[in-house]
Amino acid sequence: MVLSKKFQSQSEAIASFDFQDVADGTGNIIFYLYAADAGSTTYHLGTTTEIFSFIIDLDLNNGTLNFNASPFNTPRVVKGDAIINITLLADTAATITAQLQRISAGVATNIHTSAGKAAGITTGKYLCFNVSLTETLFKVGDNLRLVLTTTGESGTSQLGIDPANRAGASLTLTKSQVIVPFKIFA
């Protein structure tokens, strides 16, 4: 007997999850800071280290910088503690504050309380902010924003924003990242 209907073989794709992520019910997404254009004041959060940022180390100069991720194409819920690692060269007077926001229909909303850290670093070092997030729904089209603000600067401060971690003019370490936990099953 000859079968006329052909049966499809099993897919070769295998989904794998970290046991700790499944146990916690969250999965971390790592976003890297970068700039796509020279002279631009638009900065981004990307999810790959294959990006070579146009600007490797960025002047901070007592102000606020916004780093935006692309809009999400599926709903997501943040839950847990985010980690913000930034590479910084600063004078002793500078203070840097990091905030995470949800951008929905053009409106920015903090998804945690502010995290401040006195920089006072004279060589390129990582600063680490552990930030407790408010459980927040990101709808389709919403995006994540990292806001970095420097105050009290009396000299030079440089922020590393190269996912490929190339050496810059002032910094030898230049990869800065935001690790955000999302619920696996929203």
pLDDT range class, residue 2, cuts 50, 70, 90: low
Residue spans of the domains in the chain: they are: 25-183
Interatomic CA distance for residues 186 and 179, integer angstroms? 18
Q: What is the 3-state secondary structure (H, E, C) of the chain?
A: CCCCCCCCCCCCCCCCCCHHHHHHCEEEEEEEEEECCCCCCCEEEECCCCCCCCCCEEECCCCEEEEEECCCCCCEEEEEEEEEEEEEECCCCCEEEEEEEEEECCEEEECECCEEEECCCCCCEEEEEEEEEEEEEECCCCEEEEEEEEECCCCCCEEECCCCCCCCCCCCCCCCEEEEEEECCC
pTM: 0.84
Mean pLDDT value of segment 54-67: 86
Share of the chain above pLDDT 70, in %: 77
CATH match for 25-183 among 2.40.50.140, 3.40.720.10, 1.10.287.610, 2.60.120.260: 2.60.120.260
Do 143 and 76 form a contact (C-beta atoms < 8 A)?
no
Q: What is the pLDDT of residue 94?
A: 73
